[in-house]
């Protein structure tokens, strides 16, 4: 990479330039009119800060504790399938960069890297389940996660049905396997994106799903896995079933209301993540930073509350933490960084977040994360 990443927007621009259009659109994602994708980002802009002149010259300390473990800042790389399509370095690069930054890494069951390889490089690995293969497949996946040394299990509850994708971005599903048909389909994009094409043709972008139980003696492709996840949408009974199998920290991801958060807490989960799947699920679902206060009010005294969706700078992390989030998960920012600069790009992105969080805390005169609350914000409604 030529020069270091300057911002999430910079990584986004580079990713747009370097990735073939269909791959770029796939990562942009969104459903129907993409209202929720936009709302996630715009809602952060409606929240302002109340600056406070420094009372000390000591530097802010962004460390915090999440689900029983201290982390270097309130940030986690979210589980995302398909990311090797952006760069063959994929999940392993993200997990290593997160470990260097002292933060957990989330890994999707639809990742293209075996979970054992991830836990070997990041001791704080959070593994995310869809119920592929029903309860039997899920029990096997949980046992494998336990053996691999996964620390936190996430169950995503908001994407087991689809409404058909976005009106404007008919993103081609990335090819599962490299073969003549997929090469021909992508050939126009290969001419214009030779670097991506080279990785693709070498098989480095092949999207298999090694963490999903196989079919007919071979591992599923991610495309097959994402079709299979829709066969068993998780219910509350399934959450109770998973709770019974996993005694480590359990997170339910994809909650945007106080009612659902209370039900999750009643089942004994340790945290909920306020999430609308980055706008890839129900279009019209509320922006997550707007939904966060309702969830915190409902369960914040019983379990930890995380959030993800639309976080694009350190200041956004500070806003979410000030509204009661323990930590936030980021998705597209690190995927764009991966596309723009591989593992080094992800290192740079996480450093930018760290700098943004500390810089914002300094201008609010908050020296530790525990000092952040709504008094740091100006809420315009």
> Among candidates 25, 39, 22, 28, which has minimal Cα distance to 256?
39
Identify whether 277 is a catalytic site residue: yes
Interface segment toward ligand FMN; rule CB under 6 A; list 137-145, 170-178, 276-284, 294-302: 276-284
Instruction: Decide: 1 and 148 in contact? Cβ < 8 Å.
Output: no
Alpha-carbon distance values, 153 to 81, 128, 249 (Å): 16, 6, 6
Among 27, 287, 292, 357, binds ligand FMN (CB under 6 A): 27
* Length of the chain (residues): 381
Alpha-carbon distance values, 246 to 34, 241, 268 (Å): 35, 9, 11
Least separation, in Å, of the C-beta of 347 and ligand FMN?
18
Pick between residue 12 and residue 366 the one whose CB is nearest to ligand FMN. 12
Q: Is 128 in the site for ligand FMN (CB under 6 A)?
A: yes
Least separation, in Å, of the C-beta of 53 and ligand FMN?
32
Least separation, in Å, of the C-beta of 334 and ligand FMN?
8
Q: Is 113 in the site for ligand FMN (CB under 6 A)?
A: no
In 10 A of CB 324, how many CB atoms? 19
Least separation, in Å, of the C-beta of 52 and ligand FMN?
28
> Taking CB under 6 A as the rule, which mask of x and - marks residues 230-269 in contact with ligand FMN?
-----------------------x----------------
Among 206, 308, 343, 347, binds ligand FMN (CB under 6 A): 308
Determine the size of the site formed for ligand FMN (CB under 6 A): 25
Pick between residue 130 and residue 241 the one whose CB is nearest to ligand FMN. 130
Pick between residue 321 and residue 330 the one whose CB is nearest to ligand FMN. 330
Pick between residue 31 and residue 322 the one whose CB is nearest to ligand FMN. 31
Alpha-carbon distance values, 223 to 112, 141, 168, 175 (Å): 11, 18, 21, 8
By CB under 6 A, the residues from 335 to 374 that bind ligand FMN are: 335
Q: Is 22 in the site for ligand FMN (CB under 6 A)?
A: no
Instruction: Point out the catalytic residue in the list 12, 186, 193, 277.
Output: 277
Q: Is 87 in the site for ligand FMN (CB under 6 A)?
A: no
Active site residues: 277
Residues at the contact surface with ligand FMN, assessed by CB under 6 A: 27, 29, 40, 78-82, 108, 110, 128, 156, 253, 275, 277-278, 280, 308-311, 330-332, 335
């Amino acid at each position: 990479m030529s020069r270091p990443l300057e911002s999430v927007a910079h990584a986004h621009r580079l990713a747009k330039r370097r990735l073939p259009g269909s791959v770029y659109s796939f990562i942009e994602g969104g459903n129907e009119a993409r209202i929720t994708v936009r709302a996630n980002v715009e809602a952060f802009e409606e929240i302002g800060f109340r600056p406070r002149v420094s009372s000390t010259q000591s530097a802010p300390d962004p460390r915090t504790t999440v689900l029983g473990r201290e982390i270097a800042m309130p940030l986690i790389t979210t589980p995302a399938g398909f990311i090797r399509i952006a760069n063959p370095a994929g999940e392993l690069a993200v997990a290593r960069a997160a470990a260097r930054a002292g933060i957990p890494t989330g890994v999707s069951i639809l990742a293209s890297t075996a979970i054992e390889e991830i836990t070997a490089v990041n001791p704080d690995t959070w593994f995310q389940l869809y119920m592929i293969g029903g309860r039997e497949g899920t029990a096997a996946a949980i046992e494998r996660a336990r053996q691999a040394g996964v620390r936190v299990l996430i169950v995503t509850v908001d994407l087991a049905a689809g409404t058909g994708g976005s009106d404007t971005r008919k993103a081609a599903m990335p090819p599962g396997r490299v073969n003549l048909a997929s090469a021909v389909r992508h050939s126009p994009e290969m001419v214009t994106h030779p670097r991506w094409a080279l990785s693709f043709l070498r098989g480095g972008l092949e999207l298999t799903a090694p963490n999903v139980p196989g079919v007919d003696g071979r591992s599923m492709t991610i495309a097959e896995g994402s079709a299979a996840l829709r066969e068993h949408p998780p219910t509350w009974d399934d959450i109770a079933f998973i709770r019974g199998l996993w005694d480590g920290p359990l997170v339910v991801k994809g909650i945007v209301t106080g009612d659902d958060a209370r039900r999750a807490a009643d089942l004994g989960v340790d945290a909920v993540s306020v999430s609308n799947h980055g706008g890839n699920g129900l279009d019209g679902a509320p922006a997550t930073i707007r939904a966060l206060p309702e969830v915190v009010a409902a369960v914040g005294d019983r379990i930890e509350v995380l959030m993800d969706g639309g976080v694009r700078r350190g200041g956004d992390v500070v806003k979410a933490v000030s509204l009661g989030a323990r930590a936030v998960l980021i998705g597209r920012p690190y995927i764009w960084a991966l596309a723009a600069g591989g593992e080094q790009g992800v290192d740079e992105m996480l450093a930018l977040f760290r700098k943004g969080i500390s810089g914002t805390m300094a201008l609010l005169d908050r020296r530790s994360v525990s000092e952040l609350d709504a008094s740091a914000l100006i809420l315009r409604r």
